[in-house]
Chain A
Amino acid sequence: MAKKLIHVTVNGQSHEVAVEPRLLLIHFLREQLNLTGAHIGCETSHCGACTVDLDGQSVKSCTHLAVQCDGSSITTVEGLAQNGVLHAVQEGFYQEHGLQCGFCTPGMLVRAQRLLQENPNPTEDEIRQGMSGNLCRCTGYQNIVKAVQYAAKKLSQAAAAAA
C-alpha cells in the first residue's frame, strides 16, 4: 500500500515522514523516532501504558494510526522534563514512590500532566477517576494518587508565585 507523507511535531520537534497507513502511532514513536518511553502493554486500549498527549488530549497510541496524526502535535514522556528539570508529575512520582517496576509510569506521567491541566485542583476521587484509564499491576494506586497530589500542589504553588 502506498505510504502517506505526514507532518507531525513531537516534543517540539517537527518531523516529515512517509508512513504505511497501518502503522500504529505507538510503533511510529518507538521504532521510527526511537522514543521508547511510551510502552506497549495490552495493545487493546485497556492498560494506558502507551498514553501520549495528542493535540492537548490524552490518547492511547496503540489504538491510533500514525497517518491520522498529520498536522498534529504530540508530547511523549520524553517531552515532559524541560532543560534537565523534571516536570512536577515526575518529581511527584519520585518523591512519593509512585512506582515499582515502572512499566506503567510513562503513561501515568503523561496522563497525570494532562489531568492537572484539565483540573488543576482535583479531589482524590477526581484523581482516581481521571487516572482510571491507566493500570498499574505492581502495587495499589495509593502512592500514584499521592504523587499526583504532590504535583498538583507544586504546580499551583508555582502558578501562585508567578501571579
Chain B
Amino acid sequence: MIPWPFEYHAPKNIAEAINLLGQYGGEAKILAGGHSLLPMMKLRFAQPEHLIDLNRIPELRGIKDTGNMIVIGAMTVENDLIRSPIIQSKLPLLAEAAKLIADPQVRNRGTIGGDLAHGDPANDHPALALALQAQFVLTGPKGKRTVAAADFFQGLYLTALAENEVLTEIHVPVMEKGTGYAYEKLKRKTGDWATAGAAVVMQVKGNVISKISIALTNLAPTAMRAEAAESALLGKELTPATLDAAAKAVMAAVDPAEDLRGDVEYKTAMAGQMVKRALGKARMRCA
C-alpha cells in the first residue's frame, strides 16, 4: 500500500510549522508519530497534498516539572512517558496507562499530542486527559491559547484545533500524594484499541470519596467524563452498592458504536465492568 503523492516539509521550529500550515491550510496534514495518519494515507482515506512533519522540532519534545503542573511537549512519545521519572512520580496514571497503548515499536513513534489531536475516541490519551483535567496549549499565527481537555473533543475526529493551529503542549496538574488511580482497558490483543476503557482518579477523606473523576475510552463519539457516576460516588464510601450504582450510571451514559469488537449491548456491559475494576483498583491505592 502506497500513499498518494504529497510534498514533504520538515520545519525546524514551531513558527515555521505554523507558517506552513497558514500557507497550505486544508491541503496540509500534520505528521506526528504517523501511526494513525500513515495507515490512513496508505489506504487513501487521507490524501493530503502537503505533509508537515513535526519530528524535527526539538522544542515540542520533553517533560518539565513546573511545581503544580507537569508540562509535556506534544511530540513526546509514549515510551518517554513510561520511562520518565517525573511522570512515574507525579502522574503515575499516565506512566501506567501508556504501557497499554499499542506495542513497544509503536510506542517509540506514537506521541501524546498526535493521540489527542487525532480526535479518535478509541485513542487512550483523551480519556486520561479528561480524568486528569489536563489543559492543551494550541499555537497558531496569533499566538497561544489554552483549551481544557473537557472543551477540546467535539466529535468523531473533531477537536477544537483550528486549521492553522498546532497542539504544542499538554499541561497536567500533578496528582496529589495519596491519590488513587487506575486505567482499565479491555482489548482483544496487544496493539488493539479498547473494546471499553475506564480511567479513574480518586481521593478519600476517612473512607469517604472526596474527589473523583471517571473518564471513558471508545464508548461514545468522543472520550467522555462519566459525571452521573461521579455524582453517585462523591461523598460516599465505595461499597458494593455504590459501586453498582456507579456502573449503572456509566452504562446509562455510554453510546458505543457496534464494530468487530462487539455489539452495543456487550460494549455497554464491558463499560460497567471496566469502571468497576478501575474504581476498585483506584480505591485500594488511595492513602
Contact = CB atoms under 8 A, between A and B. Distances in A.
Task: Report if A and B associate in a common complex.
Answer: yes
Interface of A: 1-2, 4, 20-22, 24, 27, 43-46, 48, 51, 57-60, 63-65, 67-68, 70, 111, 115, 129-133
A58 B108 contact: yes
Contacts of B38: 24, 63-65
B106 interface: yes
In this complex, the member of B1, B103, B109, B190 whose beta carbon has the largest number of chain A beta carbons within 10 angstroms is B103
Interface string B261-281: 000000000000000000000
A51 B105 CA distance: 8
Interface stretch (B3-11, B133-141, B157-165, B224-232): B3-11
Given A45-B39, A63-B34, A63-B39, A21 B109 contact: no
Nearest to A131: B104
A72 B109 CA distance: 15
Contacts of A111: 104-105
Contacts of A131: 104
Contact of A21 (B6, B102, B106): B6
B26 interface: no
Contacts of B5: 1, 20-22
A43 B43 CA distance: 10
B211 interface: no
Interface residues of B, number: 27
Given A45-B35, A63-B109, A133-B191, 11 more contacts: A2-B7, A21-B6, A43-B1, A48-B105, A51-B105, A59-B108, A64-B38, A68-B10, A132-B103, A132-B190, A133-B103
Contact of B8 (A48, A67, A130): A67
B72 interface: no
Interface in B1-52: 1-8, 10, 34-35, 38-39, 41-42, 51
A118 to B, nearest CB: 9
Contacts of A68: 10, 53, 55
A44 B36 CA distance: 9
A52 B241 CA distance: 52
Nearest to A107: B105
B71 to A, nearest CB: 24
Nearest to B79: A57
Interface string B235-276: 000000000000000000000000000000000000000000
B35 A63 contact: yes
A94 B103 CA distance: 25
Contacts of A44: 39, 42
Given A24-B2, A58-B104, A65 B8 contact: yes
In this complex, the member of A130, A131, A133 whose beta carbon has the largest number of chain B beta carbons within 10 angstroms is A133
